Amino acid sequence: MTRVVLFGATGTIGAGALLECLDCPAIAEVVSVGRRPTGRAHPKLREIVHEDFLDFAPLADELRGFDACFWCVGVPVAGLTEAQYTTITHDYTVAAARVLLAHNPALRFVFVSGGGADETEQGRVMWARVKGRTENAILGMGFADAVVFRPGIIVPQRGLRHNVRLYGVMTTLFTPLIPVARAMRQATSTGEIGRAMIAAALGHHVGQVKKARLDSSDINALARLCPTSTGT
């Protein structure tokens, strides 16, 4: 049975991942780490409220014995300087990853990035550079396995809504075009992302999706390998 530590469970993607984990019989326990409680109660869910995302050393003893980490922490770039966006996107991720790696050498790390991230770190788009830099840090850190998700359009499911109002408006406007976006490898859903994470935690992506960075279409294909997948 698989134990998962989940960061960002109060966000749209993280909440979707949490719901799928709680439903999946292959997941024995989910430990949510966040600045505030999720508001959910379940026998498989344990929550840790932690304020300082630049320092996870105080949680070292509680961050042991995990098989997988799902990193779903994200923030809109609007209104942030590059330094501010880097702190939240890169520095928080790396701070947690270092502690997890030190105490879980066989850990599988799933990092949710974004479509258009720039792994060269040289492009003109700030958020894409920072996302790419973070991807490179995670993939090069030495985890037994690490995979990057790069979703494009994300459709909330199971009663979830986008936390960022603009994202919700855009998703509503583009709803008629979702089938086209799927055909162009640009659309997925919160449920598929969550199920794909579980499949990755179970190692089903090894030999199936032969790359470290997965776009929406790859995510959807991986979701179908999840033990509870409905194929939707």
> Does a structural domain hold residue 231?
no
173 secondary structure, DSSP code: H
Segment holding 3, helix H or strand E: strand 2-7
> Does a structural domain hold residue 180?
no
Torsion of CA 196, 197, 202, 206, to 10 degrees: 70
> Does a structural domain hold residue 161?
no
CATH of the domain at 131: 3.40.50.720
**Three-class SS of residue 204?**
coil
> Does a structural domain hold residue 170?
no
> Does a structural domain hold residue 169?
no
For 12, the domain range is 2-152+189-223
Write down the number of H helices and E strands in the chain.
Answer: 8, 9
Which pLDDT value is given to residue 207? Answer: 59
Mean pLDDT by 10 residues, the chain (232 residues): 95 95 96 96 97 97 97 93 98 98 97 96 97 97 95 82 57 56 71 96 72 92 80 43
> Does a structural domain hold residue 70?
yes
> Could you tell me if 127 and 170 are in contact, meaning their C-beta atoms sit under 8 angstroms apart?
no
Contacts of 169 (CB under 8 A, 6+ apart): none
Which pLDDT value is given to residue 230? Answer: 46
Q: Domain count for the chain, please give it.
A: 1
> Does a structural domain hold residue 157?
no
Instruction: Please state, in angstroms and rounded to a whole number, the distance separating the CA atoms of residues 26 and 66.
Output: 14
Concatenating the DSSP letter of every residue in 15-82 gives HHHHHHHHH-TTEEEEEEEESS--S---TTEEEEE-S-TT--GGGGGGG-S-SEEEE------TT--H
Which neighbouring-strand residues pair with 150? Answer: 215
> Does a structural domain hold residue 165?
no
